[in-house]
Amino acid sequence: MMAKTLIAYFSRADENYFAGAMRYVKVGNTEIVCNIIDELIPADSFKIEMEHPYSPVYMTCIDEAKKDLRAKARPALVSMPDSIDDYDTVVLAYPNYWGTMPMAVFTFLEAFDFSGKTILPLCTNEGSGMGGSERDIKRTCPGADVKNGLPITGSKAANCKGSVQRWLSANGLL
């Protein structure tokens, strides 16, 4: 049987920050990258969605995200996979919120045991790279093999296929 891969991602549409300017988008940058991954490898996808999403207004959203980070909040999610037992590898994709993952991603990670699983972190950002997210994943998922993450500039998400292919290939998924 082939190793099974799950693409678990948090993505935000609405008003986003692109290289110095605000723009409304229908599909978030992280979801754009995950759609590219989905075309390249056989995988199941799960979108991490908050029961009470942040504001569509960018500046309000980042204030709400900062408040949740400071409170170490674990926002309730719309749904959760029944199990991740069938997956060997999890591609975990998220935007960089205040130097780490959105708190909703922590809600997802803390719901499961990732022991023996491989986690490939992917972080969309506008210059802040992976932040401390790789360290935070290692701390949140003891027993998981957390690989080097792939930072993607969000405003260039639609053109990241080459770097995504190299990263998937380097991690044995392509």
Domain boundaries, the chain: 5-170
Q: What is the pLDDT of residue 19?
A: 75
CB 61 within 8 A of CB 12: yes
Residue 48 has pLDDT above 70, yes or no: yes
Element (H, E) at 61: helix 58-70
Residue identified by tokens 């972190």 is 121
- The structure tokens 């692109």 sit at 18
What would the two tokens of residue 21 be?
């300017």
CATH architecture entry for 5-170: 3-Layer(aba) Sandwich (3.40)
Q: Is the pLDDT of residue 11 over 60?
A: yes
pLDDT band at 18 (very low <50, low <70, confident <90, very high): confident
* E strands in the chain: 5-9, 14-18, 21-25, 44-47, 89-95, 118-125, 145-146, 150-153
For residue 55, give Cα distances in angstroms to 52, 65, 74, 145: 9, 10, 17, 34
Q: Are 22 and 15 in contact (CB under 8 A)?
A: yes
Task: Identify the band that residue 115 occupies on the pLDDT scale cut at 50, 70 and 90.
Answer: very high
Tell me the Ramachandran region of residue 72: left when phi exceeds 0, alpha when psi lies from -120 to 50, beta otherwise.
Answer: left
Average model confidence (pLDDT) for the chain?
A: 95
